[in-house]
Amino acid sequence: MPDIQAEVINRGLVASISDMTIWRWLDEDAIKPWTHRSWIFPRDPDFEAKAGRVLDLYARHFDGHELKPDEFVISADEKTSIQARIRCHPTVAANSRHPMLVEHEYDRGGSLAYIAAWDVHRAKLFGHLEATTGIVPFDRLVAEVMSEEPYRSARRVFWVLDNGSSHRGAASVRRLQGAHKNLVAVHLPIHASWLNQVEIYFSILQRRVLTPPDAESLNALAADILGFQAHYETMAEPFQWKFTRADLVKLLQRLADKHARQVAEAA
C-alpha cells in the first residue's frame, strides 16, 4: 500500500491519500490483480472429437450405438512420485487445544508410483504400487484387469487413457490391443486429465490418506494406500458424472468467444 500511495502522489493523480483508502478501493474493485488462478487452454485440434468419445462412453454409448451389457469402460492413470516424508519429530494428534501438529522438517524415505484402474459403471477398483511408472508396470496392471472376469470374456473393454508416456499414441494402441484382443484404447485430448474419472479417486485418496504428507516409512505408506483402496472398494459407487457432450460444446464455445475477445482487445 505505501508503494502505491507514493506512486499515485508522484504521478499527480491526487495531492494526498492514505494507504487505507487505497486498500479499501482495491478491496471493493471487481478486478483484483494480486490474485490468480492457473488454467490450461485446450490446444488439441481434435479436442471436441476426442473428449466427446470419452463422454459418450461414460453415458454408455460408442460410435452412435449403446453399449451392450458385456461391454465395460475402464479409466486408468498413474499417480506419480508419492513421497514417504518421515518427519524428524513424530506427528502430534489433534486435541481440544490444538490441531494436528506436523513437524516442518522430514527425511526422504523414497517414493512410490500408484497405477490404478477404475471401472466407470461397476465402481470396481484395481491398483498397483510400483517403484516408478513405465510401460512394463502399466501393462502389468492392464494384464491383471483383463485376466479377470467379466473383462476376460467381455465383448469389448474400453480403456480411457491420457497421453502419459507409458500409454501414449498409436504405438500404445497397437501394444495394448495386440496383447488383449477385446481391449479398445480410447485416448483423451492433450491436457484433459480432468475428463479421466480415475482422477476423482486420486483426489479422494489425496485428501483422506496423503494429507498431510506424513509416513513412518515407505512400507507404511504403501500399506496406507493399499489399505484405503481395499476400504474404498467396500463402499464405492459409480461417480455421478454430469458433464455431457452438450456441456462440452458450450464450454468450447465460451472459450472460443473469450479467446476472440482477447485477440480483439490486444489488437
pTM of the model: 0.84
Task: Render each residue's pLDDT in the chain as its tens digit; 267 residues.
Answer: 888 889 989 999 999 999 899 888 888 888 887 788 877 778 888 999 999 999 999 999 999 999 999 999 999 999 999 999 999 998 999 999 999 999 999 999 999 999 999 999 999 999 999 999 999 999 999 999 999 999 999 999 999 999 999 999 999 999 999 999 999 999 999 989 899 999 999 999 999 999 999 999 999 999 999 999 999 999 999 999 999 999 999 999 998 898 889 888 887
Quick one: angle between helices 135-146 and 169-179, nearest 10? 40
Q: Which three cell numbers stand for residue 257?
A: 468467444
Taking the domain 47-238, which CATH number applies?
Answer: 3.30.420.10
Q: Where are the domains of the chain?
A: 1-36, 47-238
